[in-house]
């Protein structure tokens, strides 16, 4: 088996596995209520994420089988990336959960966006605009659009 065939096989298997888990998601999630609208069901976000994995896994398999060369990197700054940058990113993401519990969802998104922006050295003015837009957009989508419940901030108790 050539490396290209192995890559295609792995991508295809991961795509089909994600599809199988997406189909089984309602049975895997405790308290799933199929009588709700699809976007209010507890399986909505897993369906969304697993569908993306399935689609791009199958696209990757087809690209690999047909010989499509992927020459571009998926890193923002490939020369600047590394293990340390990845570990800092994981730490920031982990701390964002605690910040969300302490200060609330919108503040957590803003602080996390600013921290990630500083980590990858985005200009301050651009960083502040992006952090504000991201915070407002995500809050609107999840809290008002999908009516996702987030716990009250500790600071407000």
Which of 29-38, 65-74, 94-103, 140-149 holds the top average pLDDT? 94-103
Taking residues 41-56, report their average pLDDT. Answer: 85
pLDDT tens by residue, 107-132: 899 999 999 999 888 999 999 999 99
Taking residues 144-153, report their average pLDDT. Answer: 76
Say how many residues make up the chain.
157
Distance CA 74, CA 82 (A): 13
Residue 53 confidence (pLDDT) above 60: yes
List of long-range contacts for 143-148, beta carbons under 8 Å, 24+ apart: 143/105, 146/39, 146/40, 146/44, 147/40
SS3 content of the chain, % helix, strand, coil (to 5): 75, 0, 25
Instruction: For residue 101, give the nearest of 60, 156, 154 by alpha carbon.
Output: 154
Taking residues 38-43, report their average pLDDT. Answer: 74
Instruction: For residue 112, give the nearest of 124, 126, 94 by alpha carbon.
Output: 94
Instruction: For residue 89, give the nearest of 122, 123, 112, 121 by alpha carbon.
Output: 112
Q: Which pLDDT value is given to residue 141?
A: 85
pLDDT tens by residue, 22-33: 888 888 877 778
Q: What is the dihedral of CA 138, 84, 50, 64, to 10 degrees?
A: 130
Q: Which residue has the higher pLDDT, 73 or 88?
A: 88
What percent of the chain shows pLDDT beyond 90? Answer: 22
Per-residue DSSP letter, 141: I
Residue 136 confidence (pLDDT) above 90: yes
Q: Which pLDDT value is given to residue 3?
A: 78
Q: Which pLDDT value is given to residue 92?
A: 92
- CB atoms < 10 A from the CB of 119, how many? 13
Q: Which pLDDT value is given to residue 5?
A: 81
Confidence of residue 71 (pLDDT cuts 50, 70, 90): low
């Amino acid at each position: 088996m050539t490396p290209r065939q192995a890559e295609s096989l792995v991508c295809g298997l991961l795509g089909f596995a994600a599809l199988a888990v997406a189909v089984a998601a309602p049975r895997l999630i405790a308290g799933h209520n199929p009588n709700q609208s699809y976007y209010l069901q507890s399986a909505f976000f897993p369906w969304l994420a697993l569908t993306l994995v399935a689609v791009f896994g199958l696209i990757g398999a087809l690209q690999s089988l047909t010989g499509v060369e992927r020459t571009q990197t998926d890193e923002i700054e490939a020369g600047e990336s590394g293990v340390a940058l990845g570990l800092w990113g994981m730490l920031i993401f982990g701390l964002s959960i605690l910040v969300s519990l302490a200060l609330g969802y919108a503040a957590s998104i803003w602080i996390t966006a600013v921290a990630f922006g500083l980590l990858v050295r985005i200009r301050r003015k651009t960083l502040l605009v992006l952090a504000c837009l991201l915070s407002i957009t995500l809050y609107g989508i999840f809290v008002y659009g999908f009516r996702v419940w987030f716990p009250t901030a500790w600071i407000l108790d």
